[in-house]
Amino acid sequence: MAADESPSIAVHQQAFAGFCAGIVGTVLGFPLDTIKTKMQTSQMSAVEAIKTTQNQHGFKGFYRGVGSPLISLTILNTLNFSSYGYFCKQLNIQGITAEDKITSFQWKYGLAAACVGPIASLISTPFELVKTKLQLAKKSSIPGQEKIAGGTIRMASAIVKSEGISGLYHGHLVNTIREIVFLSTYFITYEHFKVYALNELNLSMPISTALSGGISGALGWLISFPLDNIKSNIQGLPIDLIHTRKTAIQIGKEILAKKGIVGLYAGVGPSIARAFIVSASRFSAYEYALTIVE
């Protein structure tokens, strides 16, 4: 729940709004996420990633693995917004009013959001893992192999069968750090820029919400993107390489050695575009849904 919203909003209202935000954001942004993942884990350009996906799976290939984030983001949006509101209250952060100026805001917004990171990663890590493996899965002529890559439940079951429950949390540490960096940037940018858009740019509330949401999402992803890149490379490794997997630091060093700093930002274009679209629609859907259930 954003800090400027009424504390009287009930849990079921937050759940409904989070559900709407998760569905809208995922459906609009998932194809760009698929392209981003392929670019991060290969030498493909955006155009090559699009052509490869289309040739291998057709249009539905851009939504391969969408089931996992549809479920996880429904849960995460409810959790993230409500937890953020809770931590804002615990830190005694005052609500935003129309008279507030951008200079009156403080770093505590970022701290409240950062506290949500470790909680969010408990849910996002396994779903990100399954989503990544499905996005990178290729059609196979090996009998039975295509079934493993055929859906969220099958892929998750294959991972658990091979590595146990802990296998679903491969890359958890780097993903937790990524969540902390992303969410703190995400919410503190949203809180500051929304007031600036309302009071300095004199934009309407719907436009301010969408624009602030889009900018906060894009900036959050830009800053946390190297961590997401490393996470994707860790989680994209084949299931049967459990004994030869490398740490986040090792993978980060390898990317730097092969591609330099630019390598850590492979796929950043589609990711930033996706982040702007998803975050703008997510905040808009969330706040609109709240007006429906009030």
pLDDT tens per residue, range 29-47: 788 888 887 887 777 888 8
- Flag whether 145 is in a domain: yes
Cα angle, residue 131 at apex, residues 137 and 174 outer, rounded to 5°: 115
Q: In terms of residue numbers, what domain contains 276?
A: 11-293
- Is a pLDDT exceeding 80 seen at residue 105? no
In this structure, of 3-17, 119-133, 272-286, the range with the lowest mean pLDDT score is 3-17
Residue 150, pLDDT score: 56
- Flag whether 211 is in a domain: yes
Q: How many domains does the chain have?
A: 1
- Flag whether 5 is in a domain: no
- Flag whether 6 is in a domain: no
pLDDT averaged over every residue in the chain: 81
Tokens of 71: 């479920």
For residues 100 and 195, the answer to whether their CB atoms sit within 8 Å is yes
153-168 burial, b at 16+ Cβ within 10 Å, e below that, comes to eebbebbeeeeeeebb
Rounded CA-CA distance 186/113 in Å is 8
pLDDT tens per residue, range 45-76: 888 888 988 888 888 888 877 776 777 777 88
- Flag whether 255 is in a domain: yes
Residue 143, pLDDT score: 38
- Flag whether 274 is in a domain: yes
Residue with tokens 């391969």: 64
- Flag whether 275 is in a domain: yes
pLDDT tens per residue, range 223-262: 999 999 999 888 887 766 655 667 888 889 988 998 888 8
**Confidence at 269, pLDDT banded by 50, 70, 90:** confident
| DSSP 8-state class, residue 265 | T
Enclosing H/E stretch for 260:
none
- Flag whether 1 is in a domain: no
Among candidate residues 52, 23, 24, the one with its CA nearest the CA of residue 38? 52
pLDDT tens per residue, range 144-189: 444 444 577 888 888 898 888 988 999 999 999 999 999 999 999 9
pTM over 0.75: yes
Residue 294, pLDDT score: 61
CATH code, domain carrying 253: 1.50.40.10
Tokens of 141: 């002529």
Tokens of 103: 């200079």
- Is a pLDDT exceeding 70 seen at residue 20? yes
- Is a pLDDT exceeding 70 seen at residue 141? no
In this structure, of 60-64, 78-82, 136-140, 200-204, the range with the lowest mean pLDDT score is 136-140
Q: Which residues contact 256 (CB under 8 A, 6 or more apart)?
A: 263, 264
